Amino acid sequence: MISELPIAAPHTPLLDAIDQGAAMADLDSRQLQQLAQELREYLLYSVGQSGGHFGAGLGVVELTVALHHVFNTPDDRLVWDVGHQTYPHKILTGRMRQMHSIRQAGGLAGFPKRAESEYDTFGVGHSSTSISAAMGMALAARQQGIDRKVVAVIGDGAITGGMAFEALAHAGHERPDMLVILNDNQMSIGHNTGGLATYFAKIWATKTYLGMRERSKRFLEHFSFLWEWAKRTEEHMKGMVAPGTLFEELGFHYIGPLDGHDLPLLVRTLNNMKDLEGPQFLHIRTVKGKGFGPAEDDPVGYHAINKLEATPRKPQPAQPKRKGPKYQDVFGQWLCDMAAQDDKLVGITPAMCEGSGMVDFAARYPERYYDVAIAEQHAVTLAAGMACDGLKPVVAIYSTFLQRGYDQLIHDVALQNLDVTFGIDRAGLVGEDGPTHHGAFDLSYLRCIPNMVIAAPSDENECRQLLYTAYQHPGPAAVRYPRGTGPGAEIAQAMTALEIGKAVTELKGSRVAILNFGALLPAAREAAEQLGATLLDMRWVKPLDEAAVLEAAANHELLVTVEENVVAGGAGSAINELLNHEYPLSNAEGASHQAPAIINLGIPDAFIEHGSHSGLLTEAGLDTDGIIAAVNRRIAPRPADTSTVQPIKVATYETPHR
């Protein structure tokens, strides 16, 4: 077992040969074992050089080798769930020399991506999709008469998602020829261990047993009562020694659990199962972080790692560091403080305890903490049910994952005007995780829902106060905030309910007014200062501060809206709608009032690839230079009269005497 990541590239002759096109199917058992060792060593080295997802890939090294040895990929379809674990797959499929670029702008994606390789049969990033996608491929092969094997690999976390069980149930009905492999590294499915379970699992995976089973099935199907009796007997026998009864009842032939690090056993089992007809289910047990001691001991901490430096860096000029906590920690602290004040508060998360900053809350208030696993739809409707009967639920969820509970948000929460608060994390561009994880759409998909109140704080303190305000609102309310740290605003421990729908004027200038929504305020401020422009921190996307917007429109030639959300349907669109309503005849002859010109700055109408957060903002024109350039393209620049720029003191947050 390795305890330190290698700095120098390991010697990998077999892996080099595979990277240059050698066929994995031709390798014997000894060579496969050597290949797995080389693959694990190279994975440790490459992730140490690039950073990225770590523990999950180490846990599936043997499985990945076995799959590419037994199946004729890419003609046979291999579908990975979520995709954190696919670095070994990428290394074995012609991308070994590109691994240093993973998750960097212009480099390999951190998840499977169809445009990147023909071996990536399905693009992923959200969980619980693999069985549905693989089933679709299996049915497509059946309908077109193509002899093709289809395999879905899903983890014990992802299989908790409702979509996975919907697919399992449908597969049991349609009975496509496909194999589902459950990679169980947390023992969340069943708890049967020991020699008897392993012994029977090995028996059920042998050609002798499988052949006998298929011959008996063909004979007994002519006598339906005998077949049902034999099938039930087999299921009950398996149920005594293995956790497969559920999958058998859904219509799958279950084998397992097997040691997912026993490469010869995996190869034999896959060879025996690959030609079986109908839906098959293989349950393996693995260790996340296998082969690297610290990752085995701390699988959560080593889920992903940063790039390691081979040698100490030369001293660099001191750079100003962002101070203060991450936004997720601001939320977590607020949640604990709010829970101390209100015993009706409950916290809900769909398997994002650490990422959403809820670890302390879960420890301090375990009876009021609900982790519903990867089940976003259930999380939202669970909150709705709680709100119906007097609790005050707070749902902590990533922007990109709330998309999966959209129907429930509309029908179960907003339609009934229930008192549910949503802390929407990872809003905007998230950087290296790329388009599957960018929170680019939440303002657009939330703003169109009646009864919703939506806040977009510009710094850490405003985030805390707006969370408090949203919680006090007696209906559905959302506060969206970005990944990482903010500008370092001092956070007032006292909490004050702010006026809903009220903006704050940060600077007063002339000609141009910049209306900022959310965490891009520092860039907007710098642009406003250079342009001599007025700057409004809008705070609220819904309801808008219509009076402030109309005042800005009456006194400026150009309005510029700035948001880290898609332009289509976002906060800027709300401004457009308001001005269109107020100036319906602005272009007509004889109109008494002329509407100002308007620029909407935000994320363009495209899926934004992975890269650094700052780099992506620059590409989208959402940094200071981008804002200034957009203004100068629309309005003739003139020297800024800085004497007209008047900073406005932002209200302090003090708890009123009660």
DSSP state of 409: I
Q: In degrees rounded to 5, what are phi and psi of residue 541?
A: -90, -30
Element (H, E) at 477: strand 477-480
288 catalytic? Reply is yes
The span from the CA of 35 to the CA of 13, in Å, is 9
Amino acid letter, 35: L
The span from the CA of 637 to the CA of 562, in Å, is 19
Let me know: does 522 contact 492? Beta carbons within 8 Å. Answer: no
Q: Which of 121, 32, 44 is nearest to 87 (CA)?
A: 44
Residue 253 CA: distances (Å) to CA of 185, 197, 236, 575? 21, 16, 13, 57
404 catalytic? Reply is yes
116, two tokens: 């990147």
Q: Which residue among 95, 149, 268, 404 is the active-site one? A: 404
The span from the CA of 90 to the CA of 602, in Å, is 33
582 catalytic? Reply is no
Q: Which residue among 95, 285, 288, 290 is the active-site one? A: 288
Q: Which of 321, 656, 333, 322 is nearest to 491 (CA)?
A: 333
Q: Which residue among 62, 376, 460, 563 is the active-site one? A: 376
Sign of CA dihedral 76, 288, 437, 51: negative
Q: In degrees rounded to 5, what are phi and psi of residue 462?
A: -65, -35
115, two tokens: 């445009």
Let me know: does 536 contact 505? Beta carbons within 8 Å. Answer: yes
Contacts of 178 by beta carbon, 8 Å cutoff, 6+ apart = 134, 135, 137, 138, 150, 151, 152, 171, 279, 280
The span from the CA of 505 to the CA of 647, in Å, is 8
Contacts of 501 by beta carbon, 8 Å cutoff, 6+ apart = 540, 543, 544, 545
404, two tokens: 């999966």
N-to-C CA span, the chain: 61
**Structure-token match 């805390």, residue found:** 464
The span from the CA of 47 to the CA of 51, in Å, is 5
Active-site residue list: 288, 376, 404
